[in-house]
């Protein structure tokens, strides 16, 4: 059994930055250490969609996955910290995010 989480984040509203962000996320462009850290944390599948400058992420995770464990693993991983610092060049927090908070977990409000 797996769980699914949906998260949102905005990009800076600059077409050049958005194109560059998408290049970093193109097949074979995401750093291998980042892909490894995603998989090692218990994320089985991850997809990111964009409309305008809004991003929407879907994560399918193992039952053992936790955001707290992922954050702890990321904190101890220099390559992840380097990637996250780089991504802040393109990203901007949602208006209701806490200080330093990036991706915000979305609440499901409808299911068929």
Using an 8 Å Cβ cutoff, are 2 and 61 in contact?
yes
* Sequence ranges of the domains in the chain: 2-105
Q: What are phi and psi of 10, to 5 degrees?
A: -105, 150
Q: What's the average model confidence in pLDDT over 61-69? A: 95
Note the pLDDT tens digit of each residue in 5-35. 999 999 999 999 999 999 999 999 999 999 9
CATH architecture of 2-105: 2-Layer Sandwich (3.30)
Instruction: Quote the radius of gyration of the chain (alpha carbons, Å).
Output: 14
pLDDT of res. 100? 83
Residue that has been written with the tokens 């995010």 in this structure: 97
CA separation for the pair 27, 13 (Å, rounded): 23
In this prediction the pTM is: 0.92
Structure tokens at 74: 């990321």
CA separation for the pair 79, 33 (Å, rounded): 7
Using an 8 Å Cβ cutoff, are 56 and 8 in contact?
yes
Q: What's the average model confidence in pLDDT over 54-66? A: 97
Burial class (CB in 10 A: 0-12, 13-18, 19+), 75: exposed
Q: Is the pLDDT of residue 2 over 90?
A: no
Residues, the chain: 112
Q: Is the pLDDT of residue 58 over 70?
A: yes
Q: What's the average model confidence in pLDDT over 96-102? A: 90
């Amino acid at each position: 059994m797996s769980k699914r989480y949906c998260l949102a984040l905005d990009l800076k509203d600059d077409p050049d930055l958005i194109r560059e962000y998408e290049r970093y996320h193109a097949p074979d462009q995401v750093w291998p250490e980042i892909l490894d850290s995603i998989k090692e944390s218990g994320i089985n599948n991850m997809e990111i969609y964009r409309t305008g400058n809004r991003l929407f992420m879907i994560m399918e995770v193992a039952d053992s996955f936790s955001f707290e464990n992922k954050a702890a693993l990321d904190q101890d991983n220099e390559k992840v910290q380097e990637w996250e610092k780089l991504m802040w060049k393109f990203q901007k927090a949602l208006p209701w995010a806490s200080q330093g908070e990036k991706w915000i977990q979305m609440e499901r409000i409808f299911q068929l």
